C-alpha cells in the first residue's frame, strides 16, 4: 500500500528495501521465501529498483542467496544495503558485489556513521573505479554532508532527513506503549522533513 501511494505522489525512482525482519542478515529458508515474495510484489506495484543484503555466518557476502534474489529482481537495478557494514573484509566483499552484478552498495564505511567511516568509503570508491556506485549513508545531515561528499568523492548519498512531529492525539494513555522499551515515544511521529531535504539537495548540487 505504501509503495502504491508513493508512486502516485513522486516522480523520482523508488527503490524498495527487502528485509523481512530486523537484526542480523543471516536468513532462514522461510525468510528467503518471504523476500522473494516481497520482491515479486514490489515489482508488480511499480518499484523502480530493489535493495537487500545477505551474509553468511562468517561475515561474507552470501553469494548463493544474493544470486537467487538478484534473478528475481531483474531487470530492475539492485542495491546492496548496509549489511555491507557487517562484513569480515569490506575490500573483498566489494569485489564480490561487483562480480554478482549489484549496481550500488550503501555503506557507512563499516563504522558508526559515514563521517566516522569516511576514509574507508573513499578507499572503496577508489577501488570500485566506476564498476559499482558506492553510496555513503549513516548519520548524514546538513551539517556534515559537504565534508562527506568531498572526502569520499561520492556522487550519491543516502540519509533519512527526518524530524519528529508531535502526535495530534488529544487523549493519551500514559500506561501503554505499543512496542519495545527502546522504540520511539508513542506520541511522537518521525516524518521526512521537506526543509531538510531541500537543504541537503542544495548542498549536494553545489558540490556535485
- Let me know if residue 196 belongs to a domain: no
* Residue-number span of the structural domain to which 17 is assigned: 1-159
DSSP class of residue 143 equals T
- Let me know if residue 201 belongs to a domain: no
DSSP class of residue 172 equals -
d(CA 86, CA 109) in angstroms, rounded, equals 10
- Let me know if residue 169 belongs to a domain: no
Residue ranges of the alpha helices (H) in 2-59? 2-9, 29-44
- Let me know if residue 191 belongs to a domain: no
pLDDT for 136 equals 98
- Let me know if residue 105 belongs to a domain: yes
- Let me know if residue 26 belongs to a domain: yes
Q: Give the total number of structural domains in the chain.
A: 1
CATH assignment of the domain containing 44: 3.20.20.380
> What pLDDT digit, counting tens, does each position of 150-163 carry?
999 999 999 999 99
pTM (two decimals): 0.94
E-state strands within the chain: 15-17, 49-52, 78-80, 104-107, 133-136, 162-166, 188-192
Q: How confident is the model at residue 180 (pLDDT cuts 50, 70, 90)?
A: low
- Let me know if residue 155 belongs to a domain: yes
- Let me know if residue 95 belongs to a domain: yes
Q: What is the mean pLDDT of residues 166-188?
A: 84
Amino acid at each position: 500500500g505504501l509503495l502504491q501511494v508513493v508512486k502516485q505522489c513522486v516522480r523520482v525512482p523508488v527503490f524498495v528495501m527487502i528485509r523481512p525482519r530486523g537484526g542480523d542478515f543471516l536468513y532462514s529458508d522461510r525468510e528467503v521465501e518471504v523476500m522473494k515474495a516481497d520482491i515479486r510484489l514490489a515489482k508488480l506495484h511499480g518499484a523502480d529498483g530493489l535493495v537487500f543484503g545477505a551474509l553468511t555466518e562468517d561475515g561474507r557476502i552470501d553469494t548463493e542467496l544474493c544470486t537467487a534474489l538478484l534473478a528475481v529482481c531483474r531487470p530492475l537495478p539492485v542495491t546492496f544495503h548496509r549489511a555491507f557494514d557487517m562484513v569480515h573484509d569490506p575490500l573483498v566483499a566489494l569485489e564480490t558485489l561487483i562480480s554478482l552484478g549489484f549496481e550500488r552498495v550503501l555503506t557507512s564505511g563499516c563504522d558508526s556513521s559515514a563521517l566516522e567511516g569516511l576514509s574507508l568509503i573513499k578507499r572503496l570508491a577508489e577501488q570500485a573505479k566506476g564498476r559499482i556506485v558506492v553510496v555513503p549513508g549513516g548519520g548524514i545531515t546538513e551539517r556534515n554532508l559537504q565534508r562527506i561528499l568531498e572526502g569520499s568523492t561520492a556522487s550519491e548519498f543516502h540519509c533519512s532527513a527526518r524530524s519528529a512531529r508531535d502526535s495530534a492525539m488529544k487523549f493519551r494513555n500514559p500506561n501503554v506503549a505499543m512496542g519495545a522499551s527502546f522504540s520511539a515515544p508513542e506520541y511522537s511521529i518521525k516524518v521526512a522533513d521537506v526543509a531538510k531535504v531541500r537543504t541537503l539537495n542544495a548542498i549536494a548540487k553545489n558540490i556535485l
